Structure 1
C-alpha cells in the first residue's frame, strides 16, 4: 500500500444518468429512492475514499426530485459542480422487481429524461475542458445508449479530447438490449467506446449477450478487448470472481463466499467502485479485483442498489483507505 504521505489520490469523474428508483412488487409497498449504474459506482467510490470527492457528470431538471438528488450526493461527499440543469425536464424513472432467487427485473421510463440532453447543454463543452485536469473518467454503455445518435458522437469526441489530454478512460459495457435499436447497433457504438478505453471492467454475461454468444471463455473476451486497444481488462464472473489481463499477463481473483444472495442489483457497479478506489491508491490489478469482489459480495447480501453506509464503512476498514 503506498504511503498517504507520498502518494496523491487520483481525481475521478463519472458520466451517466441517475434515475428515481422504485423497488418492490408492483402496486405494493415500493420505496422511492434513486440509482443508476454510474451513480452507484460514484457513491460507493465516495464512501470508500472519503477525501476523493468524485465528480458526477449528468443533467437533471430544476424540480424537487432533482434538487433532492443533488443534496444527497453532496452529503455523500460527491462533487456536483458538473451536474447541469435542463429546464422543463425530469429525471428518469425505473422500477426493480426482485425474484425469489435474488435476481432483478428492471422497467424503465427514461425516454425524455434530463440526462439525454447532457451533451447538447450549453455548458457541456466547459465541463469537458475542466475534466482535462482529471486523472480518470468512467462511464458505461448506458451513458452512451441513452443519448440520441448525434449526441453519441459528441460524447465520443469529448472522450477523445480527454484522452489526448492524458486522462485515463474506464468503461463498463453494461449492455441493456432495451436501450438499443438492435444488437448490431449496440456492438458498433460500444465498440467505439472500447476503442477509447484504457480500462475495461466488463461482465462476461453482458459481453455474451452483446455478441449473441454463450459461455465465452473469459480469456477470449479479454483478448477481444485488447484487440481494440484496451490495456487493462477485467472480466467479472459473478460468484467465480474476476479474470484480469494486462501487459501480456493474466490471472483470476477468486470471488468471496456468500451464504445468501438477497439482491444482485448494482453488484457490478460496486465492484467497479472498489476497483477504482484501489486503482486510485496505486494497487496492482489483482489487488484491485480482490477489493472489487469483496464489496460486490457485501452488496448482494442486501436489498437495493445502495446499502447502508455502516456496511460500506466495514469494507473501507478492511481496505485500510
Structure 2
C-alpha cells in the first residue's frame, strides 16, 4: 500500500529554458504551447512525486506569454519562486513544422531570450544561495549552450559553489550541434559540466555525436564519465533500455516493450524525471533506471512532449506500493 512507503521528500531544482511553441503549417493554423527539455523533466517529476514541488530556475519577461507559462507551471505543482523577471526581454520561440513525409522540422528564435540572461540577473546570486538548501540540482547541456561564454563561467561557478555545500548535481548532455560553434567547443564546455556532476544521465547517440564516434559501447561511455569524476552514470539506449554504472559496478535495465511509437519527443526528459523521482525515494540505480524506462515508454506512445496527466501515473501507483 502507498501508505507503507515512507521517505523524506528531496528538494530538487531544475535549471533551464522554456520557450513558446508554435506547431503547424507556416501562415496556417498553428497551435500554441510551450516546451523545453528541462521544463519537461520538471513537470514529469512534479507529477510523479506529489508534494515534491520541484523548483524551476529560469528567466522570463513580464509579457502575457511569460505570465501564462508561470501560471501553467504553478498548476502543475512546479515551484516558480526562482523564475526571474527581466523587463524588455521575451521567452524564446520555436516552431514545429510537419513535412509531407511525416518528419518534423524545427526552427528557433532564442538568441535574445530572457533565459540567456539568467546568470546576469541581479537576483541570480541570491537564487544560488537559496539553492544551497536543496538536495539536487538538474540541468542539461542546452542550459549551458544557450548562455554567452562569460555567463557559462558564471553558471559553472554557481554549480561548484552548490556542490561544495553538499548539493548533488545531475546532468544530461542533451547535445544539440546547432547550439555550438563546433563539436570541439561543445566537448570542452560539456566536459567542464561533467566534472561538476555527481550523476550523468546521457544518451549514447548524443555522446557519439559529441565525440564524432559511432556505436560506442556503453561501458566505454561510462568509463569516460567516471574519468571526469562522475560517480553515477546512466547511458540511455532507446528501446534497449539503459546501462548504469557506479563504484565499479554496472548493470543493464532492459527497455519496456512498445507496440507503437507515436512520438519520441521528450522520451529522454521523461526518463530523467522518473529516474530522479526514484532516486529521491532512495532507490538503487537499477530501480531508478527501471522506472525511467517505464515512463519513457509511456511518453513515446503519445503525441507531443507532455502526455495527458491521466496517462502519467504517480510513481507510487506504478510500483503498486
Same fold (TM over 0.5): yes
> For residue 148 of structure 1, what is the aligned residue in structure 2?
148
Change (3 A) 1:242 1:285: same
Deviation at 1:313, TM superposition (A): 2.3
Deviation string, structure 1 residues 156-195 (Cα, Å, up to 9, x no partner)? 0000000000000000000000101110110000000000
Asked whether the 8 Å contact 2:47–2:314 carries over to 1, the reply is no
Change (3 A) 1:111 1:293: same
Q: Which moved more, 1:22-31 or 1:304-313?
A: 22-31
Deviation at 1:108, TM superposition (A): 1.1
Change (3 A) 1:300 1:130: same
> For residue 302 of structure 1, what is the aligned residue in structure 2?
302
CA distance in 2 between partners of 1:242 and 1:154 (Å): 32
Deviation string, structure 1 residues 16-52 (Cα, Å, up to 9, x no partner)? 0000112344444331111100000000000000110
CA distance in 2 between partners of 1:99 and 1:187 (Å): 32
> For residue 85 of structure 1, what is the aligned residue in structure 2?
85
Q: Which moved more, 1:300-309 or 1:118-127?
A: 300-309
> For residue 202 of structure 2, what is the aligned residue in structure 1?
202
> For residue 232 of structure 1, what is the aligned residue in structure 2?
232
CA distance in 2 between partners of 1:63 and 1:216 (Å): 45
TM superposition score normalised by structure 2: 0.96
> For residue 50 of structure 1, what is the aligned residue in structure 2?
50
Asked whether the 8 Å contact 2:119–2:155 carries over to 1, the reply is yes
TM superposition score normalised by structure 1: 0.96
Change (3 A) 1:31 1:277: same
Deviation at 1:96, TM superposition (A): 2.6
Aligned residues: 321
Asked whether the 8 Å contact 1:101–1:262 carries over to 2, the reply is no
Q: Which runs of structure 1 show a deviation greater than 3 angstroms over 4 or more consecutive aligned residues?
A: 1-6, 24-29, 97-105
Asked whether the 8 Å contact 2:15–2:58 carries over to 1, the reply is yes
Name structure 1 gaps, 5 residues minimum. Answer: none
CA distance in 2 between partners of 1:100 and 1:194 (Å): 39
Name the SS for the 2:291 alignment partner.
Answer: helix
> For residue 249 of structure 2, what is the aligned residue in structure 1?
249
> For residue 7 of structure 1, what is the aligned residue in structure 2?
7
Deviation at 1:320, TM superposition (A): 4.7
Change (3 A) 1:262 1:73: same
> For residue 223 of structure 1, what is the aligned residue in structure 2?
223
